Amino acid sequence: NSKVIQTPRYLVKGQGQKAKMRCIPEKGHPVVFWYQQNKNNEFKFLINFQNQEVLQQIDMTEKRFSAECPSNSPCSLEIQSSEAGDSALYLCASSLGGRVNTLYFGAGTRLSVL
Amino acid sequence: GDKVKQSPSALSLQEGTNSALRCNFSIAATTVQWFLQNPRGSLINLFYLVPGTKENGRLKSAFDSKESYSTLHIRDAQLEDSGTYFCAAAGGNYKYVFGAGTRLKVIA
Q: Which CATH number fits domain A5-113: 3.20.20.30, 2.60.40.10, 3.90.190.20, 1.10.10.10?
A: 2.60.40.10
Cα torsion angle, A57, B92, A27, B41, sign: positive
- A31-46 pLDDT, tens digit per residue, is 999 999 999 999 999 9
Q: Between residues B9 and B93, which one has the greater pLDDT?
A: B9
Return the number of CB contacts < 8 Å for A and B. 56
**What domains are defined for chain B?**
4-107 (2.60.40.10)
What per-residue confidence (pLDDT) applies to A100?
67
User: What is the per-residue pLDDT across B36-89, written as a single tens digit (0 to 9) for each?
Assistant: 999 888 999 999 999 999 999 999 999 999 999 999 999 999 999 999 999 999
* Rounded distance between C-alpha atoms, residue B63 and residue B29, angstroms: 10
**CA of A80, closest CA in chain B: separation in Å?**
24
pLDDT > 90 in chain A, percent: 80
pLDDT greater at residue B92 or residue A78? A78
The pLDDT value recorded for residue B95 is 84
Q: Report CB contact under 8 Å: B41, A43.
A: no
From the list B33, B42, B100, the residue facing A103 with the nearest CB is B33
Residues of B with Cβ-Cβ distance to A31 under 8 angstroms: 94
Inter-chain residue contact A107 with B40, CB threshold 8 Å: yes
